[in-house]
């Protein structure tokens, strides 16, 4: 939902902590004593977007429950007809005073004000604030008999001066203050600004009356200087008796509000998919300088909310936030980047001639673009570009980043040739499959061999993750039951060749996506035996994968409570327990064949396969691992399996950092540590950082365990 750029209504919404400022003004209004029977004019000065109206709303909230004050709200900029500005003011004044809950004296004042308003209906431009204005208004009224109102009888009996005097007498008798709020005077044109002030100073100068007028002081002064042909500041000082300046919003408060709004928009982003180190660099090297006030944030987050809604899980969220900021605050820069894609995507050519030419072209482009900057300094702009685009960083650092194009594509960044256009067009990039394409693939599932080739091609093109995600949109009704067997056959057979997959907001890795597809299809098959037969056939046919069937059997084992968890009710299990026993036997047979043909320790999911196998054949697993690790390279592979990764943030850091931990305690589930410790102490490790980490931690934790045993003795 888009946020409307509107002020707060109550002190409970005051996240900028300005309620004390509003309370002080409220108290000053309540305590004001009218000694000379003339009005008081308070000026509330603040720039556009500084929160003037929010402060006025809090003042109104403080005063509206007080019995001794009547509040009149007047927004002059909503009237399109300049000629009616003054008459509409007094009509609004009359309506507020004639409120049904006020005393008879107030109602009389309201009636008088209605008559008073009629005098000004034909007036367009008002001369200098002198007494003669009253006679001018009277003559114009009586020269417009054809447009006389229902108050014509009153006009015949009184002239303008008499009516004003009558209002003043009633106001003196009324035991209430009148607070007239005139908001956003700076929205008016120059002539209207002068009209409002002349009205306040002459026509609306009543006893017990307080005007609270909000404005951008510089805008108003410039307007008055233009129309007065004189010193606008001096003119304003004669009108405003008590000036207040809106407390400035600190940059810290602006940035805090920005972070809160960003959290609201991307709250569902997975921590693993959100690169906080990269975000920290983007934020501190350019992004944060876009935002000067709250309105900047509201304007920006409205656009970001839309962009994120379209591209969620399709592009890099940090790049999307940064590119949206350019779109909102630097539109000319945004369009020029869009029109010069070749200067921004990919890397600088490694050959010297081509590289030097491209570098000069990029530098020239950036130098020329400086003149189009509206929000950022040159330094912040360049720093932001260097973070967003590897190519720009290479130009200014004279460094070539090997493999950067692949990484940008993998992370769906704006610097990738594949994803660049999506940030500007909001159109899904070529790696995404449309519903039309998905339906085409679904129609071909029944032809198992053809479908298998399609899947392998999608995998080569890097589209398989998107395919698996989108396929789940069709599993409930669109895939016919006759296609279940070939679909499960293919995924069971080639699933291990798929990349692990992104772990984004709705992603659980490609193997888990396959498990979800299996489950969603099989629950449409009401007969459990039929479900079993589908899985049995797929496992028996599979020759190219071992992890997918291991994962599938593991899930059914969990359903039946074989992982020290309470079993699901039998009615909720996908297959019967006796059929699960058969699937386990098939899996063990497949593992036996697999381990004869392949080194299981090299499998991307080796540890998860070993854990399941260990539950089924404890001794066989240990024998297999023991034989494999006789080779030092396999021993290193085995030790590396127990490295796990996490993220944390220290007190002095802006961003999260990736850290490693070593799961030493599970190693003795597979091997006798005493049989390998001396080999590990002397093993040769090349420049494999993870192998070094595994060896060092293995030895360190072994030594610690030995020391603990000695202390026990």
% the chain with pLDDT above 70: 85
DSSP 77-102: GG---GGGHHHHHHHHHHHHHT-TTS
Distance CA 523, CA 521 (A): 6
Distance CA 369, CA 332 (A): 9
Q: Which one is predicted more confidently, 469 or 325?
A: 325
Residue 227 neighbours by CB under 8 Å, 6+ apart: 190, 191, 193, 194
Bridge partners for 229 per DSSP: none
Give the pLDDT band (50/70/90) at residue 81. Answer: low
Judge whether 316 and 340 are in contact, CB under 8 Å.
no
- Where residue 346 falls (left for φ over 0; alpha for ψ -120 to 50; beta otherwise) is left
Bridge partners for 390 per DSSP: none
Judge whether 466 and 433 are in contact, CB under 8 Å.
yes
Give the pLDDT band (50/70/90) at residue 273. Answer: low
pLDDT digits (tens, 9 = 90+) for 106-165: 777 777 777 777 777 654 444 444 444 444 444 444 334 334 444 444 554 556 778 788
Judge whether 493 and 542 are in contact, CB under 8 Å.
yes
- Where residue 126 falls (left for φ over 0; alpha for ψ -120 to 50; beta otherwise) is beta
Mean per-residue pLDDT for 9-25?
84
Q: CA-CA distances (angstroms) from residue 111 to 106, 121, 150, 155?
A: 9, 16, 12, 12
Exposed / middle / buried, residue 704 (Cβ in 10 Å: 0-12, 13-18, 19+): exposed
Give the pLDDT band (50/70/90) at residue 613. Answer: very high
Judge whether 485 and 533 are in contact, CB under 8 Å.
no
pLDDT of residue 25: 92
Distance CA 85, CA 74 (A): 10
pLDDT of residue 154: 52
Q: For 564, phi and psi rounded to 5 degrees?
A: 55, 30
Q: By three-state DSSP, how is residue 533 classified?
A: helix
Exposed / middle / buried, residue 136 (Cβ in 10 Å: 0-12, 13-18, 19+): middle
pLDDT of residue 713: 58
- Where residue 523 falls (left for φ over 0; alpha for ψ -120 to 50; beta otherwise) is alpha
Q: By three-state DSSP, how is residue 649 classified?
A: coil
Radius of gyration of the chain (CA): 38
Mean per-residue pLDDT for 256-276?
85
Mean per-residue pLDDT for 83-94?
75
pLDDT digits (tens, 9 = 90+) for 423-476: 998 876 566 665 546 778 999 999 999 999 999 999 998 899 988 987 887 888
Give the pLDDT band (50/70/90) at residue 15. Answer: confident
pLDDT of residue 269: 82
Asked whether residue 693 carries a pLDDT value surpassing 70, the answer given is: yes
Tokens found for residue 584: 């386990």
DSSP 8-state assignment for residue 273: T
Please state which of the ranges 183-187, 348-352, 491-495 shows the lowest mean pLDDT: 348-352
Distance CA 64, CA 124 (A): 33
Q: By three-state DSSP, how is residue 19 classified?
A: helix
% the chain with pLDDT above 90: 50
Residue 326 neighbours by CB under 8 Å, 6+ apart: 333, 334, 337
Nearest to 391 by CA among 429, 445, 448, 350: 350
Distance CA 623, CA 25 (A): 83
Please state which of the ranges 6-10, 510-514, 600-604 shows the lowest mean pLDDT: 6-10
pLDDT of residue 158: 59
Judge whether 211 and 242 are in contact, CB under 8 Å.
no
pLDDT of residue 690: 93
CA angle, 289 then 290 then 291, to 5°: 90
Q: Is the dihedral of CA 231, 235, 237, 240 positive or negative?
A: negative
Q: Which one is predicted more confidently, 504 or 341?
A: 341
Q: Give the H or E element holding residue 41.
A: strand 40-45
Nearest to 465 by CA among 417, 516, 423: 516
**CA-CA-CA-CA dihedral for 493, 496, 498, 501, to nearest 10:** 130
Asked whether residue 660 carries a pLDDT value surpassing 90, the answer given is: no
Distance CA 552, CA 121 (A): 82
Residue 418 neighbours by CB under 8 Å, 6+ apart: 409, 429, 430, 431
Distance CA 578, CA 172 (A): 97
Give the pLDDT band (50/70/90) at residue 406. Answer: low
Count, residues in the chain: 713
Greatest mean pLDDT among 14-18, 180-184, 476-480, 671-675 lies in: 671-675
pLDDT of residue 132: 45
Please state which of the ranges 64-78, 530-544, 580-594, 662-676 shows the lowest mean pLDDT: 64-78
DSSP 551-619: HHHHHHHHHTT-SSSPPPPGGGSSS-HHHHHHHHHHHHHHHHHHHHHS-GGGSTTHHHHHHHHHHH-HH
pLDDT of residue 507: 41
Nearest to 90 by CA among 204, 209, 171, 197: 204
């Amino acid at each position: 939902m888009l946020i409307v750029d509107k002020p707060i209504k109550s002190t409970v919404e005051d996240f900028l902590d300005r309620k004390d400022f509003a309370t002080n003004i409220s108290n000053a209004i309540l305590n004001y004593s009218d000694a000379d029977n003339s009005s008081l004019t308070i000026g509330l000065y603040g720039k556009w977007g500084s929160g003037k109206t929010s402060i006025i709303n809090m003042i109104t909230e403080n005063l509206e429950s007080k019995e001794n004050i009547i509040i009149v709200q007047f927004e002059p900029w909503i009237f399109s007809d300049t000629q009616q500005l003054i008459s509409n003011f007094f009509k609004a004044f009359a309506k507020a005073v004639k409120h049904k809950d006020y005393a008879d004296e107030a109602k009389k004042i309201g009636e008088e004000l209605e008559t008073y308003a009629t005098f000004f209906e034909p007036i367009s431009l008002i001369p200098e604030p002198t007494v003669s204005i009253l006679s001018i208004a009277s003559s114009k009224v009586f020269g417009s008999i054809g447009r006389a109102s229902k108050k014509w009888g009153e006009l015949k009996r009184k002239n303008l001066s008499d009516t004003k005097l009558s209002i003043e007498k009633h106001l003196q008798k009324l035991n209430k203050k009148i607070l007239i709020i005139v908001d956003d005077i700076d929205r008016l044109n120059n002539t209207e600004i002068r009209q409002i002030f002349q009205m306040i100073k002459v026509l609306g100068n009543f006893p017990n009356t307080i005007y609270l007028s909000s404005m951008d002081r510089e805008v108003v002064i410039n307007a008055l200087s233009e129309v007065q042909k004189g010193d606008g500041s001096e003119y304003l000082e004669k009108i405003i008796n008590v000036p207040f300046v809106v407390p400035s919003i600190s940059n810290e408060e602006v940035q805090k509000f920005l972070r809160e709004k960003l959290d609201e928009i991307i709250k569902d982003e997975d921590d693993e998919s959100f690169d906080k180190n990269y975000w920290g660099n983007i934020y501190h090297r350019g992004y944060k300088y876009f935002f000067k006030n709250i309105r900047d944030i509201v304007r920006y987050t409205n656009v970001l909310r839309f962009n994120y809604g379209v591209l969620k899980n399709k592009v890099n969220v940090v790049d999307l936030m940064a590119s949206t900021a350019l779109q909102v605050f630097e539109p000319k820069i945004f369009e020029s980047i869009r029109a010069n894609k070749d200067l921004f995507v990919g890397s600088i050519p490694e050959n010297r001639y081509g590289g030097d030419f491209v570098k000069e072209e990029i530098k020239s482009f950036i130098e020329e673009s400086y003149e189009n900057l509206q929000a950022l300094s040159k330094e912040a702009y360049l720093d932001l570009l260097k973070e967003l685009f590897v190519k720009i960083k290479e130009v200014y650092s004279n460094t070539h980043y090997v493999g950067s194009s692949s990484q940008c594509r993998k992370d769906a960044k704006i610097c990738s040739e594949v994803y660049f256009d999506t940030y500007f067009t909001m159109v899904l990039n070529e790696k995404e499959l449309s519903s039309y394409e998905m339906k085409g693939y679904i129609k071909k599932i029944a032809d198992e061999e053809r479908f298998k080739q399609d899947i392998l091609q999608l995998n080569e093109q890097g589209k398989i993750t998107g395919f698996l995600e989108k396929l789940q949109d069709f599993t409930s009704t669109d895939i016919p039951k006759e296609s279940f067997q070939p679909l499960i056959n293919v995924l069971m057979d080639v699933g291990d060749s798929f990349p692990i997959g992104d772990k984004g907001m709705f992603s659980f890795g490609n193997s888990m996506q396959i498990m979800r597809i299996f489950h969603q299809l099989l629950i449409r098959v009401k007969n459990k035996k039929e479900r079993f037969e589908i899985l049995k056939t797929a496992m028996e046919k599979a020759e190219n994968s071992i992890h997918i069937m291991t994962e599938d059997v593991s899930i059914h084992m969990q359903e039946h409570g074989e992982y020290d968890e309470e079993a699901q009710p039998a009615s909720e299990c996908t297959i019967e327990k006796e059929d699960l026993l058969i699937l386990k036997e098939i899996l063990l047979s497949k593992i036996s064949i697999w381990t004869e043909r392949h080194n299981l320790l090299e499998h991307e999911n080796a540890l998860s396969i070993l854990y399941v196998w260990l539950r089924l054949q404890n001794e066989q697993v240990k024998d297999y691992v023991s034989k494999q690790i006789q080779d030092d390279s396999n021993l290193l592979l085995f030790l590396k399996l127990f490295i796990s990764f996490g993220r944390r943030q220290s007190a002095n850091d802006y961003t999260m950092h990736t850290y490693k931990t070593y799961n030493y305690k599970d190693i003795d589930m597979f091997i006798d540590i005493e049989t390998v410790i001396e080999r590990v102490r002397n093993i040769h490790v090349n420049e494999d950082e993870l192998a070094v980490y595994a060896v060092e931690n293995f030895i360190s934790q072994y030594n610690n365990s030995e020391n603990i045993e000695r202390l026990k003795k």
